[in-house]
Structure formats: C-alpha cells, structure tokens
Structure 1
Amino acid sequence: MKKYNVAILGATGAVGKEFLNLIEERNFPFNELKLLASSRSAGKKIDFMGKTYIVEEAKPESFENVQIALFAGGAASKTLAPGAVRHGAVVIDNSSAFRMEPEVPLVIPEVNPEAIKQHKGIIANPNCSTIIMLMALKPIYDKVKIKRVVVSTYQAVSGAGKEAIDELNEQVIDYLHDRPIKANVLPGASLSKHYQIAFNLLPQIDVFVDGGYTKEEMKMVHETHKILQDDTIGISPTTVRVPVYRSHSEAINIELEGPLSVQEARELIAAFPGVIVEDNPAEMIYPMPLFTSGKNDVAVGRIREDKSVPYGLNIWVVGDQIRKGAALNALQIAEYMVGHNLV
C-alpha cells in the first residue's frame, strides 16, 4: 500500500492528540510524520508508535514534501493553509476559516463524500455540532424531505479547549472547598464578561450576531444548507455550554414533508454508517455523554413522534465532538482520498 507524508498542525492540542490516536488505531498509511504547532509549543517531544518526534514551529515551508496536512483548527489555518497548498499538500482543516468558501468542499464522509473530489487543495471539516446533527438527520432526509429542524445543543467544555476543561476542574474544587469561584474563560476567553460553568449552563457559544443568534448557532444553519445542498430547510438552533467534559448532546425536533413512522426512522438511522441506535425507554437505555466519550459512533435515542405537527419526530443525539466532531471526520476524509487515489 502506498504511504503518504502527513503533517499535523496543532499537534499538542486535544484534536491534534486525537489525530495521533486515530492514525494508530486505524492504521493510516503514513510514511513520514511532521508534528507542527505554534512557537510556544515548538521543541516539545511526543512519543508515537515507538518513535520520539520533536514538535516544530509551523511555517509555510513546513509543508514541503507533505501530501496530507491535518489542521486541528484555530487562527493559524487562514495564514498557513494557502502556503501548504502551494507546497503540494491537501489541507483538511478543522477551523471555520474556509467552511463557507464556495470553492472549498465542506464534508462529512458518510453524508456527502462526493464533494471531496471537487477540492482545490483545501477541504473543510464542518462544525462539531453540525456533524453530530447531520449524522442523525441524513438517513431520514434521504427517505423523506425535511421541512424544519429545531435543535438545542448541550455542548461539553472540551469544545472550548483545554483552558475550559481546567477551569471547570478548578471551579468544582473551589466550590467543594467553599472558596470563591473564578471565571476567566467561558463563554469565551476574549469576551468582556465571564461566567461560572460548574453547576451552571451558559446559553452562549461564540459571539452574538444579527438577530440575537450566536455564530455557533448560525454555523449549524449555513453549514447544513451547504452540505445537503438544500437551503429550503428551516433550522432554528440554540447552543448551550454545559458542565460536561466531553461529548456533545443535541435535542432535535424534525418536521417532515411526509409520513415516516418511528419504527421506520429507527431502522433508517440504525442502518446508517457511523451511527448506532440506543433507544429502549422501558430499560432506561438512551445515549449519554459519559458513554459516548472516546467512541467513534454517534448515538441516537429517544426516537418518538411529535404529535403537535402533521409529520414530526423528536430524537436525542450524542457524539464525541473531539472524535467524530473533529479528528475522526478529518481522518475519514483523508482515508477516502487515499482509497480513491485523490492524493
């Protein structure tokens, strides 16, 4: 099997580390591996598959002789991706920098793999919440056209980075020791005001935009329309940060344009690759973040009829946003390219 020179940008972060875990787990065919990060992390050592790698500072020339560049996300994507492409690499990017660019495919391999073939050097990973939602919606959408979606997300702190995880830890410890609780990270480190996340919910992820929605919410709208190539679907999202370490959850109400029974929906979802059904209310079986963390599959449960509209369903969806919501989705794109000789 042909092997490829791979670079990971953001190798020391949560998504970068997950890239490494998945490359080993899935036996991805790499030849040389470059681990890249900001100047702050340059020089760190990472042991991987019996070899010690030195993390290099990411520069445009870092991508010389690289065929596949996995970008973990962040501001560096915008500046480094074009240079990586000029050096001959295909960039698979986890940031929001290129998602809505018309010439950049926005891809979930189980949902729209054909879009990968249209790339011009950069392929974008969708937002984690969009990926988790569409993994559950696509099998339904393929059977019966979706008219409207109302989605509320319950997003883990790891989606906001290591600093948010550390802050939740510190706040819980301070609470248990009756010490003053400090908040410096959430809803966003760059914002003028911060709130406690321990024992609390924050109905803001990212900044507010026109109409009172947040950027995170509007990402779910615009990205869904682009991926499905259908902007007729009405989408009303509310995104919420919750004091959970890992795995995002979503309560999704679906209004269809025709009939679909609960049993049919359950069978369609169960047959879709990358999705499992955990749905037995009598035995209190339903998806939970605690049990989806570290797993590749998106789990769907609480599948039931919404009797308030002619053709309605409610579902509950949970997925590991660092795996399927980020690193796994990107690596699956790379695997598709390798399998179809697109690199």
Structure 2
Amino acid sequence: MGYKVAVVGATGNVGREMLDILSERGFPADEVVALASRRSVGTEVSFGDKTLKVKALENYDFSDTDICLMSAGGEVSKEWSPKIGRQGCVVIDNSSAFRYDSDVPLIVPEVNADAVKGFTKKNIIANPNCSTAQLVVALKPLHDKATIKRVVVATYQSVSGAGKDAMDELFAQTRAVFVSDPVEAKKFPKRIAFNVIPHIDVFMEDGYTKEEWKVMAETKKILDPKIKLTCTAVRVPVFISHSEAVNVEFENPITAEEATEVLRNAPGVLVVDKREPGGYITPYEAAGEDATYISRIREDATVENGLSFWCVSDNLRKGAALNAVQIAEVLVNRKLLQPKSQKAA
C-alpha cells in the first residue's frame, strides 16, 4: 500500500513543480490531492498523465493523509501546518515559517538527512531557502574534507523566486523596452529588465536583507553553527535558476584539484569546469535539471586555504520542490513513516 499525499499551493510555480517531481520520481503514492485557496477551487493541474481538480485547503480533512507538501507561503503555513501536524500528517513546509524553530528539522537530504528524525516533535519538517539549498549541497563535501571557517557568497537570483507575477513582470518589461512602451515596476522596487537589483526581501536593522539573513542562519543550522558567513543577495533578469559566486576559507589546506575531486564524488553535485570559453554552467542550462552545478573552481591566493567557485541550480526544483520530495523519500526509505491505510488495514 502506498501513501496519500496532499500538495498545498498546487496552482503556484513550486506546487506545480512538486506534482511533476512526485510523478517523475515515481513516489509511492496511492493518491495525490491538489489543494489551494477557495478562489482556485476547480482549477485543473497536471500530475503525470492525470489531471487533478484543485480542492479547498479550508475544507480538507488531513486525518487520512500521510504527507503534506506545503507551498502556500509563510502566513498560510503558520496557520495550517501545526493543525495538519496534529492530525497525524507530516508537513514538509517550503516557507520560512518554521525554519528557525528548534523543534523543527531543517533538511537538505544530501547534507543532513539524519536530522529528519526530529520531525516527530511537531510533525513538521522545513525546507530551506532556495539559495541555501544549493549552497549547502556544494559546501558539505568541502566542509567534511577541510573544515570551513568562513564563506562569502553573492547570489544572482532569478525572478521565479518571487513567484509568477515576478516572471510576468520581467517578460512585460522586456517587451516594453523592445517596443518603446513605458516600463512599469510593480513587483520589484526598480525595473528588473536589463538590470540587477541588490535587494531581496525586507531590510533589517543591520543593513542586511531578510534573504541574506536566511542564507546565513540556515547554513549554520544545517551545516555547522561555527561557520562564519556573509551574503549579498541580488535579483537578476533570469526566469529560472539561481547562481552564486562563493568564496570559502578553510581551516586545513585544500587545492582546487582536491576540491574538484571531492565535489565530483558528492551527492547531488555535477562539476562542469573546463577552464575554457563555455566550459561552465549558466542558469539557462540548469533550468529543469535536478543537480547543483559547480564550475570555476580555483584557489584564492588572498587568504590561506581559500577557494572560489561558481554554483548554479534550478531554484524551483532543488531550491524548493525537489528538495521537499527528497525529504518525503527519506521518510519512506528509512521507514520513519507508515501509510495510514496500512495501519488501518
């Protein structure tokens, strides 16, 4: 007998991706339910070769559901995830609502799958920020090899990280530039077409943005609280895939060749680094792919034991939907969750 899975936020970018990935990876689900707000009821979404009609989250009974993939934003999650968890359904939440809760594991399966056992406290597991997910996949094998002291990262984040309206805005502004129409900025504080914006999420008192703070706090929780990290998060006019320029300082010596070998053998990582024109991965090529791609691995001569590299991943997949489904697979493969239908039988 398989599992019953609900996807909340099924009409959004990440929700649709979750449905696609559940189907692609052959997740052992006997039934998949698409849920969203009342205004989306009756909307049709694809699940493999099937079409699902969206139901209302407000009226749904989770008592016979095993896993809920939650991708409806922080406010919805704060209200609903604890209620769903109390009905015995494990929530894998894509928002930031529970990432910093000490009773909620924050999981990237390639990095800290063992920590998933802590889900029983609240029946909630948190997915990290999209930028954090790809970063820690790249950092974990290097940390195991040479122990990371400090990380400096600049992110180049695609507009899909801000939702469908943001993607529409980039398209509309780009078209407006070509036909000499007025360029309107609604979703972003400044024009995004043919521009970059060094501002994602709200500003905090120390001058960092919330997005930058998330990357710093989450990396420490997932990987190692002793790591020092600073981040600059930038929105770029790319539809899908986040890129990161990463500089790392280690406790112990590590050469570029050693780092390349370590990363080639790491789970979830693909190294494409030919040191020639085009011998690296760009966001366009990473879109629709599951891997975290690493290129431009080189030694940093300005510090002892320093490396720099370029890191690219599809933010809707590894940064969100894929990671959530992988967490569900950990629960299943490690036999941490029995289907309710099996218990009832």
TM-score computed with the length of structure 1 as normaliser = 0.95
CA RMSD of aligned residues (A): 1.1
Letter in 2 for 1:309: V
- Counterpart position of 1:191: none
Q: How does 1:8-47 map to 2 (within 5 A)?
A: 8-47=7-46
- Counterpart position of 1:155: 157
- Counterpart position of 1:190: none
Q: How does 1:189-208 map to 2 (within 5 A)?
A: 194-208=189-203
**SS of the residue 1:287 aligns to:** coil
1:49/1:130 CA distance change after superposition, 3 Å:
closer
The alpha carbon displacement at 1:234 in A equals: 1.1
CA contact (8 A) 2:37 2:58 kept: no
CA contact (8 A) 2:240 2:314 kept: yes
Decide which of 269, 283, 294 is 1:275's aligned counterpart: 269
The alpha carbon displacement at 1:59 in A equals: 2.2
Decide which of 278, 281, 294 is 1:284's aligned counterpart: 278
Partners of 2:32 and 2:253 lie apart in 1 by 50
Decide which of 230, 237, 240 is 1:243's aligned counterpart: 237
- Counterpart position of 1:330: 324
Partners of 1:249 and 1:266 lie apart in 2 by 18
**SS of the residue 1:207 aligns to:** coil
Partners of 1:280 and 1:49 lie apart in 2 by 37
| Residue 294 in structure 1 maps to residue 288 in structure 2 | yes
- Counterpart position of 1:164: 166
Partners of 2:49 and 2:260 lie apart in 1 by 43
- Counterpart position of 1:307: 301
Paired positions, count? 334
- Counterpart position of 2:343: none
The alpha carbon displacement at 1:50 in A equals: 4.1
Partners of 1:127 and 1:306 lie apart in 2 by 27
**SS of the residue 1:310 aligns to:** coil
Partners of 1:62 and 1:199 lie apart in 2 by 46
The alpha carbon displacement at 1:30 in A equals: 0.5
1:119-163 deviations in Å (ceiling 9; x for gaps) = 120000000100111111110000111111000000000000000
CA contact (8 A) 1:46 1:52 kept: yes
**SS of the residue 1:201 aligns to:** coil
Partners of 2:106 and 2:257 lie apart in 1 by 31
Instruction: State the identity %.
Output: 49
Letter in 2 for 1:79: E
- Counterpart position of 1:175: 177
- Counterpart position of 2:341: none
Q: How does 1:54-93 map to 2 (within 5 A)?
A: 54-59=53-58, 61-74=60-73, 75-93=75-93
Q: How does 1:107-126 map to 2 (within 5 A)?
A: 107-120=107-120, 121-126=123-128
The alpha carbon displacement at 1:341 in A equals: 1.0
**SS of the residue 2:4 aligns to:** strand
CA contact (8 A) 1:303 1:313 kept: yes
CA contact (8 A) 1:60 1:84 kept: no
Partners of 1:73 and 1:227 lie apart in 2 by 23
**SS of the residue 2:199 aligns to:** coil
1:87-128 deviations in Å (ceiling 9; x for gaps) = 110000000000000000000000000010111200000001
Partners of 2:227 and 2:21 lie apart in 1 by 34
**SS of the residue 2:6 aligns to:** strand
**SS of the residue 2:249 aligns to:** strand
1:235/1:47 CA distance change after superposition, 3 Å:
closer
**SS of the residue 2:206 aligns to:** helix
The alpha carbon displacement at 1:284 in A equals: 3.1
The alpha carbon displacement at 1:83 in A equals: 1.2
- Counterpart position of 1:138: 140
1:51/1:286 CA distance change after superposition, 3 Å:
closer
When structure 1 is superposed on structure 2, of 114-123 and 48-57 the one drifting more is 48-57
Letter in 2 for 1:289: P
**SS of the residue 2:303 aligns to:** coil
CA contact (8 A) 1:61 1:83 kept: no
The alpha carbon displacement at 1:310 in A equals: 1.0
**SS of the residue 2:31 aligns to:** strand
The alpha carbon displacement at 1:63 in A equals: 1.6
1:184/1:84 CA distance change after superposition, 3 Å:
same
TM-score computed with the length of structure 2 as normaliser = 0.95
1:61/1:179 CA distance change after superposition, 3 Å:
closer
CA contact (8 A) 2:250 2:305 kept: yes
- Counterpart position of 2:342: none
**SS of the residue 1:327 aligns to:** helix
CA contact (8 A) 1:255 1:312 kept: yes
1:73/1:138 CA distance change after superposition, 3 Å:
farther
The alpha carbon displacement at 1:283 in A equals: 5.0
Decide which of 243, 247, 252 is 1:253's aligned counterpart: 247
